[in-house]
Structures are given as structure tokens and as C-alpha cells.
Amino acid sequence: MLVYLNGAFVDHVDAKISVDDRGFIFGDGVYEVTRSRDGVLLEVDRHVRRLERSLAGLDISFSPTDLPAVSLRLLRENNLARGEATVYWQVTRGAAAPRAHQFPPAGTPVTVYASAGSFTSLHEKRVTGVGTILLPDQRWARCDLKTVNLLPNVLAKQKAVAAGVHEALLMRDGVIMEGAATNFFGVIDGMVRTHPKTNNILPGITREVVLELAAELGIAVREEPMLVDDIPRLTESFLTGTTNDVMPVVAIDGRPIGDGRPGPIAGRLYSALMNRWRVGD
Ligand SMILES: Cc1ncc(COP(=O)(O)O)c(C=O)c1O
């Protein structure tokens, strides 16, 4: 597998970073996960813009505008230009010693890494819908930045897996914020609701696209916090994310949502998303 590291395309086993890298030492970096279909990067401009925003949020100087071209070469050279793949981008504040919390001297090169891997759509799960559990949101106050500091997300997802469900829903002060790696949507009284863009959620690319598709389809959406107490009123619920697309949620903490089957609005939005991402025909 060929990967990209600091300007060079190298074999995965030869890609080495310093033990002084601030990504390793402090989790001082940002990332993106993008999808490709038949060699086309999906929503790539939005991913570049979000990476720019995350970099600016951490005051890391780097322009990611070359990463799409880098990604296309990774897809080609790794025989991923057909079918589905994911592409990972990560930028850290670079390597600096001795270890010190404050930023390293100006001019310290950032570390830039990109890789591509094959991807199998989670379609079987979409057919049945998935279960979720509610957990306290233990993340920091800038969840809107896509940083590699993912420990609360990692621990939450592990609890979900241990509970035999697909995703953990993170709640703060009685409000459902989002999933550990997805945005959360619910339908109450025929109205789709999702948390507004604040510092407490990641501004998901799929969330944004799904909101636009809902508007085109005439599906009413309110960007409004959803309370844990609202759960019994949900007639339908779903998650959005780069690897989840639109994923119906059929249970929260073992309690069925609606009739316990994937709902019609999730189905319509998923079809619209697939239509938007139809490549090469
Ligand atoms: C915490 C969190 N929320 C939401 C999302 C969904 O974002 P996107 O649709 O851009 O993949 C992700 C994706 O990784 C995430 O980590």
C-alpha cells in the first residue's frame, strides 16, 4: 500500500514519523475522512474547507489544497480507482524537542499524511437499521474542530460495540448532541430535527448535504436541540456520516424508535444522497 507522507509517496511500511511528533505526543493535529467512488472524491471541496477551518482553529499553518490531487494519485496507484474507497488526511503541528506544550518555533514543518483504503458500504446495517446507546458527552468545548484527540469518541464507540450496537449517542445537559462519529437526526410530529451547528458538534459534511437534499425534497427540517426526554416522541431517527451515509436508527438503549423499522424519511434522503453521488453515468 502506497501512502503520502510529507511530500513523498512511499510504501506504508516505510512511512515513518518522529517520536517527537506533536500528533503523537499531544494529539496536536487535525484530520479528514473522505470517500471516493470510481476514483471520484465525494464532496471534496467541503472536506478541504473543513480541514482549513480545523487548521485555523488550532493555528496550524498549512494549505491543504494539494490533498485532492494527492488523494487521486493514491487511489490510482493503490488500485482503488474503481469501486468504493476512503481517503484519510492528517496534519499535525510537526515534530519538536524538547517536549513543551507551547507551539514549536515558527517554521517547524508540519507533518502531512494521506492514505487510501478500500471501503465496503454498511448497506446490510441500513436494511435492518441500527441500535444505539446513550452516553454522557465527555468531550471538550471545541467539538466543531476535527482534531485527532478522539479519546472520548473512542471510549464511547467501544462501549457501543461492547453493548452490541452500532453507535453511541452523546448527551450533554439532557440534549443529544451527535453520535461518536456521526450526526444525529430525529423526526417528531413529522418534523426532522438535528442539533444546530455549535461548538458542541462536528459540522458534518453529510449532515450539510442531507440538509440541502431535504430542502430540495420539501422535507421540513429544524436545526434545534433534541432532548433525551423527546426520545419517546420520535417516530423515526437516523445518523449521517461519511462512512454511514444515512443510517436508520431503530433503537436507543434497547427501546424501539417508531415501529422499530427504518423510517421513510431516512430512506428518501439516502436515495437522494446516492443519486447525488452517482458517478460516471
Ligand atoms: C463526532 C463526529 N460527528 C459527525 C461526523 C460526521 O461527519 P461527516 O459527515 O463529515 O463524516 C463525524 C465523522 O467522522 C464525527 O467524527
Nearest CA to ligand 1 atom 12: 181
- When computed from its CA atoms, the radius of gyration of the chain, rounded to whole angstroms, is 19
- Which atom of ligand 1 is nearest the CA belonging to 205? 10
Burial of 245-263, coded b for 16+ CB within 10 Å and e otherwise, reads bbbbbbbbeeeebbeeebb
Catalogue the active-site residues: 146
Pocket, ligand 1, Cβ cutoff 6 A: 33, 153, 178, 181-183, 202, 204-207, 240-242
- Which atom of ligand 1 is nearest the CA belonging to 178? 3
3-state helix, strand, coil in the chain (%, to 5): 30, 30, 40
Using CA atoms, how far apart are residues 164 and 180, in angstroms rounded to an integer?
15
Hey, which residues does 186 pair with through a beta bridge?
A: 193, 237
* pLDDT for the residue 187: 98
CA–centroid distance, 182 to ligand 1, in Å, is 5
CA–centroid distance, 183 to ligand 1, in Å, is 6
CA–centroid distance, 69 to ligand 1, in Å, is 23
Q: 157: number of CA atoms within 13 Å, CB side?
A: 10
Pairing of strands 245-252, 130-136: parallel
* pLDDT for the residue 279: 74
CA–centroid distance, 204 to ligand 1, in Å, is 5
pLDDT tens for the chain, residues 1 to 281:
999 999 999 999 999 999 999 999 999 999 999 999 999 999 999 999 999 999 999 999 999 999 999 999 999 999 999 999 999 999 999 999 999 999 999 999 999 999 999 999 999 999 999 999 999 999 999 999 999 999 999 999 999 999 999 999 999 999 999 999 999 999 999 999 999 999 999 999 999 999 999 999 999 999 999 999 999 999 999 999 999 999 999 999 999 999 999 999 999 999 999 999 997 65
Nearest CA to ligand 1 atom 5: 182
Nearest CA to ligand 1 atom 1: 181
Nearest CA to ligand 1 atom 13: 181
- Which atom of ligand 1 is nearest the CA belonging to 202? 3
